[in-house]
Structure 1
Amino acid sequence: MTSSVIEKLVELRGIESNYVDAWGKPAKVSEESKIKLLRVMGYQVDDENTLKDQLQEQINESWMLPLNPVQVNRVGDTLLTAIRLPIELVNDSFILDIETEQGERMQQNFVPSDGELINVTHIDDVEFQEYIVDINGDLPLGYHTVTLRSDDGDHLADMRLVVAPKSCYKQEDIAAGKKVWGLSVQLYCLRSENNWGVGDFSDLSYLLQQAGRQGAQFVGLNPIHALYPASPDNCSPYSPSSRRWINFIYLDVTKIEGYEQESVQTIVNSAEFKASLNHVRNIEYVDYDAVTRMKLQVLNAIFDYQYEAFLSKNNEVSKEFKAFVEQGGESLDMLATYDAIQEDLATQGKACWGWPVFPKDVNEYHNKGVAKFKKANLKRVTFYMFLQWQAAKQLEQANQTALDSGMKIGIYRDLAVGVSEGSAEIWGNRDLYVVDASVGAPPDVLGPLGQDWGLPPMDPDILYQQRYQPIIDLFSTNMQSSGALRIDHVMALLRLWWVTKGDKPSEGGYVYYPVDDLLGILALESHRNQSLVIGEDLGTVPDEIRDKLEENGVHSYRVFFFEQSEDGGFFSPSHYPVQSMATLTTHDMPTLTGYWHCLDLELGKELNLYPSEEVLAQLYTSRHDNKQQILDSLHGHQSIPEWTPHSVDQLGMHKELNHGMQYHMAKGSSALLSLQLEDWLEMDKPVNIPGTCNEYPNWKRKLTRNLEQIFTDPVLNSLALGLTETRNKVSEQ
């Protein structure tokens, strides 16, 4: 009996039993793994009677709702909705009251039994019937409200009705076949003559302006999500505190009004501050602790000035700030309060890495202790709101620079797949996240043992009950001040590999998400924000999601080194899908120089990432073969000079090979081509080594040259102009 109940719950909760692995072979999720996944979802799998009650209760709850919480339709679809009522009411007259997002209202009277009966059940001897009812009239794009009322007007239930476009937005030139290129950068990596040891939004503006002059149509960024001001060494952009808000460390403090005040200048002109500034600018890696300490010290002084001069008074500046706070709503209040609490605990020397170690009275946003803290520390909470306000303003200024430079896309942002366990996002919406599991990946080529990313997944059922609002907010906010959004691990819209705490990544299992609904919302937000969408579809990718992404106008993500045929040869970029973004390398891979000289394999050996010398030897052999295939392909397409050696044994990485590989990609059919600034500089050290934490300084390595030097280099200027010319030629073909 328990086995039968478990199988029903497995099906009900979208836990996959069978899948195709990264090598194209059938794979099964073990029964034990499925039981563990149900357990972390909150089911009492060890108590048969309780489990049966939980199953029945879940079924009953869905029947007791006259309307679904949310429904997503595409424009032009026939609008049908399900109505569930006790049998004694199905012959009564009801009203559907529809209010559009635009403020228009319409009503229709109906009798449920006049519709199509699709299902029947019994709950406590009461028969419930489910009918399909037509919603009359065409609704515009947007988020609308459907209310079910009795014939005397009493409210019985309501539903969010989303009407979405057929596919995502594309800029007019891109839709018309224009081939463009751009640069991808880790914003914190940027060096300049003026920044404070970490790339900032002024650096971004400069980069956009200079790249735009050379024909680049976008600059892609790492996730710029909010991290942890009180714990700055937690610096991975893919393990954020909140994906709705921005990492304040990217602020150019010198551009904020108040920087010129005497109180601020006294700080920045002190010998101690100048020494710190010299230190953070000149070291090879970002010193997040020192940079954060310096920026917060100055931002505190600037805020004190603005608070007294503007924010505590009634003027245009304070009105603008108040409007920003009102628009940010509970989400902004939650993040600011979280940051203030974490800072307070750190100041007291208490454990504060995240809400799981916060004192009980403040370990959840909705606790009374949090309201009490906020009231007693309102100015400090306001300070963290102020940082978000300034960050939003500076990001928008950078976006405007891109537009003024004539870029077709401008900034493209990156949405991480999740948040870390101790994040403000989970602290503020605990019910949504399954904190006893984390997102990862089953074994694949890059991770033979599987991967555990330490990011608790959203519960798809709770997401549905919350009417998809968290996803709407994520898409909307991450499309602001940009022309494109890259969605990391886009397969998450279809399914995620859940790993229960304490298990090996290979012992996880896939949990499905409402992909069609999520893609509809993505398309709607894409059009509302005029943002092209790129889906990072690497790893174990089912055909199902690739097909859906293509139909929905989401650009695939094609990495040259992964585009191999069965015989080991590399596909020509001219055969890549047009609806894709092509690239040579990514932040999780070695640079071109690192790849060609096998520096990543050397580093992996130093860090003990390989189980044996035999495995490492196989990797070296495979790399040698791949390099020869690449060289053959480059020569075959005349992408490098004929005088370049044809044998990989005679060829180290040099400028002609580096540039030749970039031109090779530029001749491809992908609408978008993204090239890493690290490869322009022929750097050898990677940004990040997957599977490591403290073994390597991930997310800290800077560029080797200042931006000002890069864009005055005639060789790099020639490369950029050559890329623009090549892409234009492909566009004309």
Structure 2
Amino acid sequence: MPEPTPPVPDALVQLATTYGITTEYESFFGNQETVSATTLVALLEAMGVDASSPERIDVSLAHAKDEPWRRVLPPVVVVRERQTPRVPVHVTHGDPVDVWLELDPEAGGGRRRMTQLDEYTEPRTVDGRLVGRATFQLPGDLPLGWHTLHATGPSGDARCVVVVTPERLELPPHLEAERAWGFMAQLYSVRSAASWGVGDLADLAEIMRLAGNRCGADFVLINPLHAGEVIAPMSPSPYLPTTRRFVNPLYIRPEDIRETAYLSAADRSLVEWAGEPVRTGGTDTGPIDRDAAWTAKKSALEVVFAAPRSAARQDAFDRFRADQGEGLESFALWAALCEEHGQPGEWPQGAHDLSSPFIARARTELAERVSFHCWLQWVADEQLAAAQRAAREGGMRIGVMHDLAVGVHPEGADSWALRDVLARHVGVGAPPDMYNQQGQNWSQPPWRPDALARAGYLPYRDMLRTVLRHAGAIRIDHILGLFRLWWIPDGSSPDQGAYVKYDHDALVGILCLEAARAGAVVIGEDLGLVEPWVRGYLAERGVLGTSVLWFEQDAGKPLPPEKYRRLALATVTTHDLPPTAGYLADEHVAIRERLGLLTEPAAVVRRQAQDERDSFIDLLDDRGLLSDDPSEREIVEALHRLILRTPSVLVGVALVDAVGERRAQNVPGTSDEYPNWRVPLADGVGNLVTVDELFDNPRLRSLVAALQKG
């Protein structure tokens, strides 16, 4: 018999709970699981907390209890509008203190003096000093924004961030009055005759304008555009970026940069020659080669960067660089270091310490390359702005809908520049479930809840602001990560992890604040095992959920459309499933069988898939949406007409469904076994569909007509 798991000491449980680590959880299979002491010690270490012995645990517990009393002010205060929270202020017992609030300039600025409450708290001896607590109450009429609380007195000066967030992110009036529909696209896969091997921001602008003008679409949801590696090999997955804040320059169209038009004939030839190997006119049916595309583009972009800019253009670049601040400079320096020294794992000593003499020298020695990578972000920002402008000119009410990935590459720019707020020696993943019985490890370093709060949530805010600059909406992948994440210590199997809780009021509140300022709608990807209270909470805050038709079932039967949530983006499929035509043809079973991913006999899985498909077709029949002998195209269109009968305020149509594509963009659980995230858009018989012909595609036009018919 296996040895029983030794009990976890109560003091360790108390310490882990203090830092938000869940010591017990309910598994996918309904069992109550206890996290091992080994895992708890490792996760505490990742937060900088020593729990290596009973004595160290006692010391760390005492430190955690004293820590709030060591600080004059809390690290950050996040409240909803109209709330009047009490703020503790700690000073040497008996010292006076003056407290006031400096209001956010974006909210009108000004100063508000705080009044101390007549409350007594017993003083506490901390580090040999008797510390008293004064309590101040924030007023309930503070404007939304990022304010600064100041405290001054004989005990010293202190400040902290006070964030006032919306009670609820209200829908735009046009969505309150009428639902919106739009396309969902993997941008890299949708190419034109002018593309450099991958779909780019110029292609996006074309898609936005034509989807609005010709189809009446109101948005296009695109894959995350986050920056990837700057040297080969570049990860094909848009969900494993090096940073979530900045854009992958792979999506830049060199010819659309203003300075390109004024190049000399010789330099113009260099740009054109660089593009020739990858500009295939959209006829290459093979997997998308990001490395080849980036090698060609970087060569051309270096030529354009070296060209002179007008005074006004240089001023615009300088202002962009100043506005994006240290975050942009650090990302650009990381990119320059990669070019100079290779992958981060190969960097010399001192290169991973931002305060080292090595980095100080690198800022000077690599200044030109740093400027180049800052310029790339400026150019990408301009082309993103042009895409959103094209959407509006095409009549779209929302426009670009960005996708925010869960995390970042463990050796990426964010992991390097934000190391103080990201946990080390752990990865994010998921515990075991029926599809992955050993669990999953995505190898992405998570935010440290305590460190992020100490930073006033500014890294999180800056990321959101940059992504939302030219967006009408944002989708948050795995929004459950704003509530809790499954942390796995390095060297442990995915099932040997634990959930770590986050201050969801703060994270969701700040998301709503930044979206409100940007005028954007927020959609949370809340698929899978999400507790009902979480969905209720998000709806209360005005964050839309996600409803995928195949997953919307009740007791094994399709959920009737009228029972869908109103506050949701409803779709037939998602990028982790085959296109609907492929799903109807059991492609999801065939490919998993071919790759050895099935955990049950193929015949059993096929029968289950057939039963599921039949149940949905029966529902379509019951609703009068099918003829007696429907074709594949008719079934696909009927499924989309079915979700139009839901109350959901947003409806998404995958471009792959619109053209009859059968191949999946991604097969979860695979890497090299399948060309994930590298499949160019094609129709049902494998013919490529380019941006130039997309909106004349007969199948797309038929689906749009079916949507308009309702």
Partner in structure 2 of residue 709 of structure 1: 693
Partner amino acid, structure 2, of 1:78: T
Match of 2:574 among 574, 580, 586: 586
Partner in structure 1 of residue 650 of structure 2: 672
- Determine the C-alpha separation between the residues in 2 that align with 1:513 and 1:109: 29
Answer whether contact 2:271 2:299 (CA < 8 A) is retained.
Answer: no
- Determine the C-alpha separation between the residues in 2 that align with 1:538 and 1:156: 46
Superposed, 1:458-537 pairs within 5 Å as 458-537=447-526
Partner in structure 2 of residue 141 of structure 1: 144
Partner in structure 2 of residue 299 of structure 1: 301
Please state how far the C-alpha of 1:615 moved relative to its aligned partner: 4.6
Residue 247 of structure 2 corresponds to residue 226 of structure 1:
no
Answer whether contact 1:242 1:424 (CA < 8 A) is retained.
Answer: yes
When normalised by structure 1's length, the TM-score is 0.90
Partner in structure 2 of residue 132 of structure 1: 135
Match of 2:102 among 89, 99, 109: 99
Superposed, 1:637-676 pairs within 5 Å as 637-644=623-630, 654-676=632-654
Answer whether contact 2:41 2:52 (CA < 8 A) is retained.
Answer: no
CA pair 31-284 structure 1, distance change in 2 beyond 3 A: same
Partner in structure 1 of residue 339 of structure 2: 343
* Bigger mean CA offset, 584-593 vs 97-106: 97-106
- Determine the C-alpha separation between the residues in 1 that align with 2:94 and 2:512: 41
Partner in structure 2 of residue 606 of structure 1: 594
Please state how far the C-alpha of 1:607 moved relative to its aligned partner: 1.9
Residue 661 of structure 2 corresponds to residue 683 of structure 1:
yes
SS at match of 1:60: helix
Q: Deviations over 1:8-34 (max 9, x none)?
A: 211101111333344555444344433
Superposed, 1:410-429 pairs within 5 Å as 410-429=399-418
- Determine the C-alpha separation between the residues in 2 that align with 1:135 and 1:43: 32
- Determine the C-alpha separation between the residues in 2 that align with 1:379 and 1:281: 37
Partner amino acid, structure 2, of 1:249: L
Match of 2:328 among 314, 318, 332: 332
Please state how far the C-alpha of 1:678 moved relative to its aligned partner: 0.7
- Determine the C-alpha separation between the residues in 1 that align with 2:24 and 2:510: 28
* Bigger mean CA offset, 225-234 vs 38-47: 38-47
CA pair 259-232 structure 1, distance change in 2 beyond 3 A: farther
Superposed, 1:47-62 pairs within 5 Å as 47-62=53-68
Answer whether contact 1:413 1:485 (CA < 8 A) is retained.
Answer: yes
Partner in structure 1 of residue 88 of structure 2: 82
**Identity over aligned residues, as a percent?**
31
Partner in structure 2 of residue 263 of structure 1: 266
Q: Deviations over 1:370-397 (max 9, x none)?
A: 2212211211111111110000000000
Answer whether contact 2:190 2:199 (CA < 8 A) is retained.
Answer: yes
Please state how far the C-alpha of 1:526 moved relative to its aligned partner: 1.3
CA pair 586-344 structure 1, distance change in 2 beyond 3 A: same
Please state how far the C-alpha of 1:247 moved relative to its aligned partner: 0.5
SS at match of 1:285: coil
- Determine the C-alpha separation between the residues in 2 that align with 1:86 and 1:155: 10
Question: How many residue pairs are counted as aligned between the two chains?
Answer: 693
Please state how far the C-alpha of 1:275 moved relative to its aligned partner: 4.1
* Bigger mean CA offset, 184-193 vs 34-43: 34-43
Superposed, 1:538-553 pairs within 5 Å as 538-553=527-542
- Determine the C-alpha separation between the residues in 1 that align with 2:8 and 2:60: 12
- Determine the C-alpha separation between the residues in 1 that align with 2:8 and 2:73: 31
Q: Deviations over 1:558-594 (max 9, x none)?
A: 111111111x111022211100001111111121122
Q: Deviations over 1:606-647 (max 9, x none)?
A: 222235xx4544322321211111111111112222343xxx
Residue 702 of structure 2 corresponds to residue 724 of structure 1:
no
Partner in structure 1 of residue 208 of structure 2: 208
Partner in structure 1 of residue 686 of structure 2: none
Match of 1:284 among 280, 283, 286: 286
Please state how far the C-alpha of 1:713 moved relative to its aligned partner: 2.7
- Determine the C-alpha separation between the residues in 2 that align with 1:239 and 1:275: 27
CA pair 29-558 structure 1, distance change in 2 beyond 3 A: farther
Superposed, 1:430-445 pairs within 5 Å as 430-445=419-434
Q: Deviations over 1:486-519 (max 9, x none)?
A: 0000001110011111222222110000001111
Answer whether contact 1:116 1:133 (CA < 8 A) is retained.
Answer: no
SS at match of 1:50: helix
Please state how far the C-alpha of 1:206 moved relative to its aligned partner: 1.0
Please state how far the C-alpha of 1:714 moved relative to its aligned partner: 4.0
Partner amino acid, structure 1, of 2:137: D
When normalised by structure 2's length, the TM-score is 0.93
Partner in structure 1 of residue 621 of structure 2: 635
Q: Which runs of 5+ in 2 are unaligned?
A: 1-6, 683-688
Answer whether contact 1:257 1:302 (CA < 8 A) is retained.
Answer: no
SS at match of 2:481: helix
Partner amino acid, structure 2, of 1:99: E
Partner amino acid, structure 1, of 2:226: H
Please state how far the C-alpha of 1:324 moved relative to its aligned partner: 0.5
Please state how far the C-alpha of 1:82 moved relative to its aligned partner: 1.8
SS at match of 2:474: strand
CA pair 487-116 structure 1, distance change in 2 beyond 3 A: farther
Superposed, 1:31-70 pairs within 5 Å as 31-70=37-76
SS at match of 2:336: helix
Q: Which runs of 5+ in 1 are unaligned?
A: 347-351, 645-652, 727-733
Answer whether contact 1:21 1:540 (CA < 8 A) is retained.
Answer: no
CA pair 106-327 structure 1, distance change in 2 beyond 3 A: closer
SS at match of 2:420: helix
SS at match of 1:360: coil
* Bigger mean CA offset, 137-146 vs 218-227: 137-146
Partner amino acid, structure 2, of 1:607: L
- Determine the C-alpha separation between the residues in 1 that align with 2:143 and 2:672: 51
Answer whether contact 2:205 2:391 (CA < 8 A) is retained.
Answer: yes
SS at match of 2:259: coil
